[in-house]
Amino acid sequence: MAKLKEKLQKKIENWRPRTTRLLKDYGTVKVDEVTIQQVIGGMRGVKSLTTDISYLDPYEGIRFRGYTIPECLEKLPKVPGGEMPYVEGHIYLLLTGEIPSQEDVQEVLEEFKGRRKVPSYVFDVLRALPEDSHPMAMFSAAVLAMQKESVYVKKYNEGISKMDFWDPTYEDAVNLLVRLPEIAAYIYRMKYRNNEIIAPDPSLDLGGNFAHMMGIGEPYDDVARLYFLLHSDHESGNVSAHTGHLIASALSDMYYAISGLINGLAGPLHGLANQEVLRWIQGVMDKMGGKTPSEEEMKKFVWDTLNSGQVIPGFGHAVLRKTDPRYKAQRDFCLKYLPDDPIFQYVDMLYKVVPPILKEHGKAKNPWPNVDAQSGVIQWYYGVKEYDFYTVLFGVGRAIGVAANIVWDRALGYPIERPKSLTTDMLEEIAGIKK
Ligand code: NMX
Ligand code: MLT
């Protein structure tokens, strides 16, 4: 058994009694109460999911396995010659809760490399789709096409014990995660680079290989590593993570679950906001005819968008009440590598201009920028100007956290998810409006 899986098995065996005890001895202890506003309003804030992979504090932002983003960037083993950690090390952290050593990461790299080959029929599926399909539809279809590879389904059909479900689920998780960068790069090169596909380089790590297959030189390898790490997880209630968890709760396999999460991520209120930010900025640039807007002009563009009933993409959040630390990490990168980039100047001006306007507008509970406000500008700077593609990058990252969650869902035996719904009549009765 590979060392990572062995470590995971020990962690699972040690963790199980905690969940069993909570259920058995404290199962009826109240965690939360639910209001009508929450029932109608998208369950905002209802504490009704559990995960140990990450936790989102409204003021501090995300912690992966207890580590903040700066801590992860500092502590996780780095790729020689680069500044960013191995994505493989981050996968290790999310799965086991431990920061790996360089040696641990090298073992994981070796284990993962042998699993990277994408079946050729996946490329046939991508080629069979209409040329103008959105990259997210392509990405989701490619993942779904691989469902027949599921080790978990094979073992399930052979009749393995529920206690062992996590093991083939882990196999599916790793097999799928290590193939996603090649699928993503293939979609990009097929759609936007005259079909000139670049073969993977097996000697490279996951992030380095992605940059290589995209055909973009350094430091885009570090951009890829940073990007996949930052987008990997955001606790369990966001649309993509929740979708993945929900699908897997029916014991559907990893391929169904990850394909499904990609579909949820493709919404403009969620991951697609990163493409919307660039689309919005390009719209402003077109209207300005190449001239940089003054702050007053920028304020007018923001108000025009709000007054036409649209949201300002990249701002606001359902949980966060401060600037997203993922925004900050990417901003630090921009300040170091592209401080004079004109689009970065726009993004920075928006950081100044938008929050006071959203406060004055009086609707958004969080006026501060989220991860999506800052991510497109980096891609654009390194030549990935086809912003339709940006959410695919988010998806490669998000799959890592959701896959880790699903392995643990199976390890801890979480049941099928099935909340209860009520009718409007019933809510009116509860409210005392109607007998
Ligand atoms: N621009 C304008 N209005 C906003 C914004 C914004 N950026 N954010 C929230 N509002 C409005 C929201 O539409 C709602 O209006 P109404 O009462 O008319 O329905 C009101 O403010 C209250 O919403 P909140 O409770 O603050 O936010 P909610 O939790 O419902 O939604 C988002 C969170 C993230 C969906 C919302 O802030 C938004 O639409 N932001 C813009 C899109 C975006 O950046 N999404 C990416 C989120 C991060 N991600 O990657 O997933
Ligand atoms: C995410 O990364 O999933 C987004 O910030 C949305 C969320 O957490 O609700």
The ligand 1 atom at the shortest distance from the C-alpha of residue 370 is: 48
Assess whether pLDDT exceeds 80 at residue 175: yes
Q: Is the CB of 312 under 6 A from ligand 1?
A: yes
350-366 residue pLDDT tens: 999 999 999 999 999 99
Ligand positioned closest to the Cα atom of 232: 2
Q: Is the pLDDT score of 211 beyond 80?
A: yes
223-244 pLDDT, tens digit per residue, is: 999 999 999 999 999 999 999 9
Ligand 2 proximity of 318 Cβ (cutoff 6 Å): yes
**CB of 319 sitting under 6 A from ligand 1:** no
Catalytic residue, from 372, 388, 409, 425: name it. 372
Structure tokens at 322: 């401060």
Among the options 90, 317, 324, 409, which is catalytic? Answer: 317
**Cβ atoms 188, 135 nearer than 8 A:** yes
Distance CA 374, CA 385 (A): 14
pLDDT tens-place string over residues 380-406: 999 999 999 999 999 999 999 999 999
Distance from the Cα of residue 264 to its chain's centroid: 11
317 in active site: yes
For the chain, the average pLDDT equals 97
pLDDT number for residue 414: 98
Q: What percent of the chain has pLDDT over 90?
A: 98
Does 372 qualify as catalytic in the annotation?
Answer: yes
Closest residue to atom 27 of ligand 1, CA basis: 318
Cα gap 143→262, rounded to integer Å: 9
Q: How far is the CA of 231 from the centre of ligand 2 (A)?
A: 9
What is the tens place of the pLDDT at every residue in 254-313? 999 999 999 999 999 999 999 999 999 999 999 999 788 999 999 999 999 999 999 999
Ligand in closest contact with the CA of 56: 2
Ligand 1 pocket, mutate which of 269, 274, 320 (most atoms under 8 A from CB): 269
Cβ neighbours of residue 75 closer than 8 Å, sequence gap 6 or more: 67, 99
E strands of 17-75, at which residues? 54-57, 61-64, 67-68
Atom 19, ligand 1: which residue's CA is nearest? 363
Instruction: Say yes or no to pLDDT of 163 above 80.
Output: yes
Q: What single string gives the DSSP state of each residue in 311-346? A: --TTB--SS--S--HHHHHHHHHHHHH-TT-HHHHH
Cis (ω within 30 of 0) for the bond into 168? no
* Residue 238 in contact with ligand 2 by CB distance below 6 A: yes
Average pLDDT over residues 111-131: 97
Closest CA to 272 of 226, 306, 221, 311: 311
Length of the chain: 435
Distance CA 260, CA 353 (A): 36
- Phi/psi for 419 (5° steps) reads -70, 170
User: What spacing in Å lies between the alpha carbon of 326 and ligand 1's midpoint?
Assistant: 18
Specify the pLDDT at position 1: 80
Q: Is the pLDDT of residue 434 over 90?
A: no
**231, 239, 276, 321, best to mutate for ligand 2 pocket (most atoms within 8 Å of CB):** 239
Say how far apart CA 316 and CA 299 lie, in whole Å.
17
pLDDT for the residue 60: 98
- pLDDT at 260 (0 to 100): 98
Average the pLDDT over 78-102 and give the result: 97
Q: Name 249's Cβ contacts closer than 8 Å, sequence gap at least 6.
A: 409, 414, 415, 416, 417
Amino acid in the structure at residue 339: P
Q: How far is the CA of 106 from the centre of ligand 1 (A)?
A: 42
Asked whether 88 and 112 are in contact (CB, 8 A), the reply is: yes
Please give the single-letter amino acid code of residue 113.
Answer: K
pLDDT digits (tens, 9 = 90+) for 34-56: 999 999 999 999 999 999 999 99
Distance CA 340, CA 430 (A): 58
Beta partners for residue 57, in sequence order: 61
Pairing of strands 54-57, 61-64: antiparallel
Q: Which atom of ligand 2 is nearest to the CA of 233?
A: 2
Active site residue 124: no
The answer on pLDDT for 435 being more than 80 is: no
d(C-alpha 116, C-alpha 175), whole Å: 7
Nearest residue (by CA) to ligand 1, atom 41, is 313
- Rounded Cα distance, 283 and 60, in Å: 33
